[in-house]
């Protein structure tokens, strides 16, 4: 394998061999971040190159430089970006996919929300969580069973409502059934597998208790009239969805999310996704190995501290 890979960000040699060949790859990485808002760190460049190679083979394009052209100047460049993003996100979902994010939800996000709710006049009420772009249901069910489990008693008896939406009718139909193959359940710990699933042939079926907290419906995030409905949401998870939207649509969706959220609400995106340049209505917060966005009062968010 030629010395193409990630010129090591760590202790990177200046002017080392291979840097010239790396340049189109870096440009592609930066283009993806600029248009989709998802970032590939230096140590993931080799992987990104593999994804590009796959697309280049499909298109019959010889070099990365030419492929960069496909992503920028060709008439089909938007469609090609979507194809590349599909490669990057692998277009799949599975149970307990992003553990640092789940830990952050359990240990920091929910306790903070519950604390804020108990201080507010309305007192404690149901926790409302929205999985926007839930695909076939693994993410909302993961949350549902994690919250049912609640070994530390974080939820203090709060009731939980998980709203799960997706644009794809077939995905929603699959989610409503709640039956999953090995691929989806490969990351499940035995504890969760035994407690929250029953065996159904060669598949696993989520139990009614897990399903009871989750309601599925079809929703297009760009449907302005329907986006006005959800109110008082405490936490929105929207992972690997906004990356497919152009900047204008992204801004529109984020504005809706802002209004959908309760005053201390959180918005969590997929791994390495960012709102930079899209919205200043949210505060970026760091939690162990995870980032999130907290709704902040209008006007305050923007001040350069």
Judged by CB under 8 A, does residue 6 bind another protein? Answer: yes
Q: Give the x-and-dash track for 76-105 against another protein (CB under 8 A).
A: ------------------------------
Tell which one of 41, 57, 86, 179 touches another protein (CB under 8 A): 41
Question: At its nearest, how many Å lie between another protein and the CB of residue 51?
Answer: 16
CA distance 231 to 199: 37
Q: How far is the CB of 201 from another protein (least distance, A)?
A: 39
Choose one: 82-90, 195-203, 255-263, 289-297; the region binding another protein (CB under 8 A): 289-297
**Closer of 58 and 284 to another protein (Cβ):** 284
CB 44 within 8 A of CB 32: no
d(CA 253, CA 22): 35
Residues that contact another protein, how many (by CB under 8 A): 42
CA distances (Å), origin 243, targets 100, 183, 253, 294: 21, 24, 12, 19
152 is an interface residue for another protein by CB under 8 A? no
Output the smallest distance, CB 214 to another protein, in A.
26
Which residue, 122 or 305, is less far from another protein as judged by CB? 305
Binding mask 222-261 for another protein (x = CB under 8 A): ----------------------------------------
Strand 203-206 versus strand 179-180 pairing type: antiparallel
Torsion of CA 54, 58, 63, 66, to 10 degrees: -120
253 phi, psi to nearest 5 deg:
-60, -45
Structure tokens that stand for 257 in this block: 């999310």
* Binding residue (CB under 8 A) for another protein from 33, 67, 192, 245: 33
Q: Are 178 and 205 in contact (CB under 8 A)?
A: yes
Task: Give the DSSP per-residue string, 66-93.
Answer: HHHHHHHTSTTHHHHHHHHHHHHHTT--
List 57, 288, 297, 299, residue binding another protein (CB under 8 A):
288
Cβ 253 vs Cβ 245: under 8 Å: yes
Q: Minimum CB separation from another protein for residue 294, in Å?
A: 8
Residue with tokens 């209008």: 298
Q: By C-beta, is 180 or 266 nearer to another protein?
A: 266
| Site residues (vs another protein, CB under 8 A) | 1, 3, 5-18, 33, 39, 41-44, 107-108, 112, 272, 274-277, 283-289, 291-292, 294, 304-305
């Amino acid at each position: 394998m030629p010395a193409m890979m990630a010129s090591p960000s760590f202790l990177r040699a200046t002017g080392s061999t291979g840097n010239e060949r790396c340049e189109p790859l870096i440009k592609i990485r930066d283009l993806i971040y600029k248009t989709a808002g998802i970032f590939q760190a230096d140590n993931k460049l080799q992987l990104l190159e593999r994804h590009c190679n796959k697309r280049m083979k499909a298109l019959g394009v010889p070099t990365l430089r030419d492929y960069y052209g496909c992503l920028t100047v060709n008439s089909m460049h938007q469609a090609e970006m979507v194809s590349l993003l599909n490669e990057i996100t692998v277009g799949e979902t599975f149970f307990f996919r992003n553990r640092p994010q789940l830990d952050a939800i359990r240990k920091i996000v929910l306790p903070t929300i519950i604390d804020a709710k108990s201080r507010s006049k309305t007192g404690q009420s149901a926790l409302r969580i929205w999985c926007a772009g839930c695909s076939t249901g693994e993410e909302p069910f993961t949350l549902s069973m994690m919250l049912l489990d609640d070994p530390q008693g974080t939820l203090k008896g709060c009731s939980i409502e998980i709203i799960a939406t997706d644009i794809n009718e077939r995905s929603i139909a699959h989610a409503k059934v709640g039956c999953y193959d090995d691929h989806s359940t490969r990351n499940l710990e035995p504890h969760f597998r035994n407690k929250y699933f029953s065996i159904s042939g060669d598949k696993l079926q989520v139990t009614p208790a897990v399903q009871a907290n989750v309601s599925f419906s079809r929703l297009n995030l760009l449907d302005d009239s329907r986006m006005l409905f959800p109110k008082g949401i405490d936490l929105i998870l929207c992972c690997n969805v906004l990356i497919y939207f152009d900047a204008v649509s992204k801004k529109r969706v984020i504005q809706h999310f802002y209004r959908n959220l309760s005053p201390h609400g959180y918005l969590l995106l997929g791994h390495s996704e960012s709102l930079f340049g899209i919205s200043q209505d949210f505060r970026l917060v760091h939690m162990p190995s995870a980032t999130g966005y907290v709704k902040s009062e209008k006007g305050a968010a923007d001040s350069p501290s």
